[in-house]
Structure 1
């Protein structure tokens, strides 16, 4: 499948209030391009689910803390969201957003054989933020995140997908495009700039 990257459509857009990002195989390389490119004054909270082994301590937050100009931490249960902060889901816990927009951790059954699962975060955040949410689906080897991206779009939010032609593993972004044809396909090197534009509207 050939997908041509497109520029987000101009015109009025919902006020962005939060960003959710999902990635799997190739996640570290992709996030190493995206997250350090976010500006120091980025105004939105960013929640990230990466498929990580359940039996090992995650080093994702530690790895990115020194690379980024925004605050980076591992999410904690019942933690309120703060602007300009990146929250990584801890190993073996689903990361959700409660209706009061606090983070929540769950040990419910894996989804797509994964815990944390991208769909769980995307769908709960879509319920909490509605049109104020922006979902980003990156490289990965499963369909996790596709259903959640569609839920974000159905709630009026923004849906962004890494260009599959440049993804280390294109399965996940292709599944996202198939489930959510209205998603905007963005080259990874332009993703932070697109998010920065959305942040300026918040």
Structure 2
């Protein structure tokens, strides 16, 4: 992969599944940028987000596994109970270390490791949620000159997560899900 490879990372909790589905349903099967999705869910919840997303999207939805390589046209879903990190060789590693912000997977962990690998080519998007997880990771993306997008708090099912990010990143872009989807479509093929 070339050094200008882009990566999109999305995070959310309460309300984040619906918001991310709305955004991703408009993207074509050959979408040119890999997407990593970190959603909080109940720790013991069985039932597969991957199956839900695979049914509703034309993109291929896969649950992240250790050493999986990033590919365009894929949505990589963080598995329950693991932190998801990105490696310099553009593969994933899974980590079962302590909870961060009461969460595993933690959005902050994935966003921070994405920015370390992809720098200014990282697009971070934080959606509806009831915790503050994600805001420091999104701030880190922004500080690495990546793109920081926050779902409009007025549209979010629970505004805690978007508001925490807006308060910590004065320069972030605030968009509703239609605008986020339209923005992602402008990145396709560039």
Task: Bin the TM-score by the shorter chain.
Answer: over 0.9
Aligned pair 1:76/2:65, yes or no? yes
**Alpha-carbon distance between aligned partners in 2 of 1:105 and 1:57, rounded to the nearest angstrom:** 18
Aligned pair 1:39/2:28, yes or no? yes
Q: For residue 52 of structure 1, give the secondary structure of its aligned residue in structure 2.
A: coil
**Alpha-carbon distance between aligned partners in 2 of 1:90 and 1:44, rounded to the nearest angstrom:** 20
**Alpha-carbon distance between aligned partners in 1 of 2:85 and 2:40, rounded to the nearest angstrom:** 15
Name the structure, 1 or 2, with higher relative contact order (CA <8 Å, separation 6+). Answer: 1
Shift of residue 16, structure 1, vs aligned partner:
6.2
What residue is the counterpart of 2:180 in the other structure? 191
Counterpart selection for 2:129 from 131, 140, 146: 140
Conservation of the 8 A alpha-carbon contact between 2:30 and 2:72? no
Shift of residue 32, structure 1, vs aligned partner:
2.3
What residue is the counterpart of 2:54 in the other structure? 65
Conservation of the 8 A alpha-carbon contact between 2:12 and 2:126? yes
What residue is the counterpart of 1:25 in the other structure? 14
What residue is the counterpart of 1:7 in the other structure? none
Q: For residue 96 of structure 1, give the secondary structure of its aligned residue in structure 2.
A: strand
What residue is the counterpart of 1:153 in the other structure? 142
Q: For residue 36 of structure 2, give the secondary structure of its aligned residue in structure 1.
A: strand
User: Deviations 1:115-148 (Å, cap 9, x if unpaired)?
Assistant: 0000000000000000111000000011100000
Q: For residue 56 of structure 2, give the secondary structure of its aligned residue in structure 1.
A: coil
Q: 191-200 vs 138-147, which deviates more?
A: 191-200
Shift of residue 58, structure 1, vs aligned partner:
4.3
**Alpha-carbon distance between aligned partners in 1 of 2:62 and 2:155, rounded to the nearest angstrom:** 28
Report how many aligned residue pairs link the two structures. 187
Conservation of the 8 A alpha-carbon contact between 2:5 and 2:118? no
Aligned pair 1:87/2:76, yes or no? yes
What residue is the counterpart of 2:109 in the other structure? 120
User: Deviations 1:43-101 (Å, cap 9, x if unpaired)?
Assistant: 00000110012223241110010111111110100111011100000000001101222
Structure 2 spans left out of the alignment, 5+ residues = none
> Over aligned residue pairs, what C-alpha RMSD do you find?
1.2
What residue is the counterpart of 2:94 in the other structure? 105
Conservation of the 8 A alpha-carbon contact between 2:10 and 2:35? yes
